[in-house]
A and B are shown apart, each in its own frame.
Chain A
Amino acid sequence: MNASGATRSRALPVQARARRRHLKRFRRLLGPLSLLAIWALVTGLGVVSSEDLPSPWHTLHTARELISDGQLPSAMLISVRRVIIGLTIGTVAGVGLAVLASLGQLGDDLIDSSMQLLRTLPILAMVPLIVIWFGIGETPKVFIVALATAIPIYLNLYSGIRGTDRKLLDAARTLELSRLQIIRHVILPGAMAPFLVGLRYAAGIAWLVLVVSEQINATSGLGYLIVNAQNFLRTDIVVVGLVVFGILGLLTDAGVRALERRVLAWRST
């Protein structure tokens, strides 16, 4: 694209930009790193007893143990699987409902009021009901994740579709696009940004409701690992579980953001 002559003069700003990016990344790491330092300090100086909070090294040691005896990997695998299945079902349901609700008056009347009602309900309060319905197998965990994630996806996509630019719709009509083509080429791509916001939010919620439901009603998974450790006063295992949750949450968020960068490439200049 560039003329070869321009390459040299551009080299400097590109480098400068890269340096700024590194600096930014470093600054963003500063927060977590200082938390870690405080943690090490407080536990190392004995301000907090090791029964209340184990030191970072102790936690690392416990993590190694839990990994080598297979407890942590198997718990993680189970939880990750529940999140993936629940989030997938929730996304499909949320998208389907939002499309149905926003494309016709009938769908709107039937679906939107129920979804607006559902959003005001604290989903976790439904856990007892869900246990009564589904018992204690995989179904209730996946179900609650699906339910909790469908709602933000629905809400964001619905308002995204509703907010479609009328001018683009007019243009599409002058191009004689069919209704289906308009949905595919105008409405859905336009609603992609709000949808991804919903997805990111849903991914966060998925972990939240999963861990709570695993703590109330499970014999496996990360949430179970944590409550079980609590019963034996194994603070170190509890902390390992928390750290793992944090890491999984960050990874999920990074995944959605990567998806965002790909799908919304047209927005960046």
Chain B
Amino acid sequence: MTAWIEDPAAGVRVRGLRRAFDGRTVLGDVDLDIAPGEFVALLGASGSGKTTILRALAGLDPADAGTIDAPPRRAVVFQEHRLMPWKRVRANVALGLDREAVAARVDETLAEVGLSGHANAWPKTLSGGESQRAALARALVRRPELLLLDEPFGALDALTRMKMHDLVLRLWENHRPAVLLVTHDVDEALLLADRALVLVNGRIEGDYAIQALRPRQRTDPDLEATRDSLLSRLGVGSGSRDPRQLISLSLEERTL
């Protein structure tokens, strides 16, 4: 079993996390640190166990062994919005909050993600991007110290995804939660994160600081070297490629 320690002032500290499904080891021995307010991206091939780590951090699944220290207020945004279809957007965002404090803060957060006009809409009527913004609002309104994002933009079109990147950065800068962003997309990690981790064979096999100033451009030459190392760590050779092609290269496209 996992040992859990919750400390609001500390960041995330995972040691020796293990998880096997039906005797098949998915996470061998994962160590992972996220400083308070730090934005960390977690990359890895499909099926490498990224979601498994995230769910353990969220407290959704037990692990087989290891210790997890994480702040007590954690919020998750999944790849699908997971809004309750029978609640209007505002009620979805307010779900589980205490009555009094809520109303003002909910509307404030909806305004922050640009959904004020949809507060009374049913989730079914929202577009993909709007749904994800509502899910972001639902996570943020809880003022999490740790924000867990599991490929939240994976299902969005490229243009919407770029807008969501800007939005997430702005929200992160305003609220400064620690962030763990699980993604397939190397460029997404390079654009957003302070640090990128690569999960290979059930371990964190690469840890790359990304120091370029924000807002970053995909074509930023500072990112070039990190992109190359990330891709080669992920087992995707990049040597012979035209750099402009790399701009749109995402692991997702290559592994599917």
- Does A262 sit within 8 A of B, measured CB to CB? no
Q: Which residue of B lies closest to A175 (CB)?
A: B96
> Which A residues are CB-close (under 8 A) to B20?
none
Give the residues from 4 to 29 in chain B that come closer than 8 angstroms, CB to CB, to chain A. none
CB distance from A164 to the nearest CB of B (A): 11
CB distance from A186 to the nearest CB of B (A): 6
| Range, interface on chain B | 20 to 34
Contact A185 B87 (CB under 8 A): yes
Contact A192 B86 (CB under 8 A): yes
Which of A27-35, A165-173, A201-209 lies at the interface with chain B? A165-173
> Which B residues are CB-close (under 8 A) to A172?
95-96
Give the residues from 107 to 162 in chain B that come closer than 8 angstroms, CB to CB, to chain A. 122-125, 138, 142
> Which A residues are CB-close (under 8 A) to B84?
168, 171, 185-186, 189
- Does B82 sit within 8 A of A, measured CB to CB? yes
Contact B96 A181 (CB under 8 A): yes
Query: Which of B59, B75, B80, B85 is packed against the most chain A CB atoms within 10 Å?
Result: B85
User: In whole angstroms, how far apart are the Cα atoms of A30 and B85 in the complex?
Assistant: 37
User: In whole angstroms, how far apart are the Cα atoms of A173 and B82 in the complex?
Assistant: 12
User: In whole angstroms, how far apart are the Cα atoms of A265 and B121 in the complex?
Assistant: 11
User: In whole angstroms, how far apart are the Cα atoms of A186 and B82 in the complex?
Assistant: 11
Give per-residue flags for A238-269: 1 if the beta carbon is below 8 A from chain B beta carbons, else 0: 00000000000000000000000000011101
The prevalent SS among residues of B at the interface is: loop
User: In whole angstroms, how far apart are the Cα atoms of A189 and B85 in the complex?
Assistant: 9
Contact B78 A189 (CB under 8 A): no
Contact B82 A170 (CB under 8 A): yes
> Which A residues are CB-close (under 8 A) to B75?
174-175
Give per-residue flags for B89-101: 1 if the beta carbon is below 8 A from chain A beta carbons, else 0: 0000001100000
Contact B86 A190 (CB under 8 A): yes
> Which A residues are CB-close (under 8 A) to B138?
175
Q: Given A185-B87, A266-B86, A269-B124, A176 and B78 touching (CB < 8 A)? A: no
User: In whole angstroms, how far apart are the Cα atoms of A170 and B82 in the complex?
Assistant: 9
Give per-residue flags for B47-70: 1 if the beta carbon is below 8 A from chain A beta carbons, else 0: 000000000001110000000000
Contact B95 A174 (CB under 8 A): no
- Does A118 sit within 8 A of B, measured CB to CB? no
User: In whole angstroms, how far apart are the Cα atoms of A173 and B122 in the complex?
Assistant: 22
Contact A174 B86 (CB under 8 A): no
Q: 29 A-B pairs, CB-CB below 8 angstroms? A: A168-B82, A170-B60, A170-B78, A171-B76, A171-B82, A171-B84, A172-B95, A172-B96, A173-B59, A174-B58, A174-B60, A174-B74, A174-B75, A175-B95, A175-B96, A176-B96, A177-B96, A181-B96, A185-B84, A189-B86, A189-B87, A190-B86, A265-B122, A266-B85, A266-B86, A266-B122, A266-B124, A267-B124, A269-B122
Query: Other CB < 8 Å A-B pairs besides A167-B82, A174-B74, A174-B75, 12 of them?
Result: A171-B76, A173-B59, A174-B58, A174-B59, A174-B76, A175-B95, A175-B138, A177-B95, A189-B87, A190-B86, A269-B122, A269-B125
Please give me the 7 A-B residue pairs with the lowest Cβ-Cβ distance, nearest first.
A171-B82, A175-B96, A189-B86, A174-B76, A266-B122, A266-B86, A177-B96
Residues on A lying within 8 angstroms of B by beta carbon are 167-168, 170-177, 181, 185-186, 189-190, 192, 265-267, 269
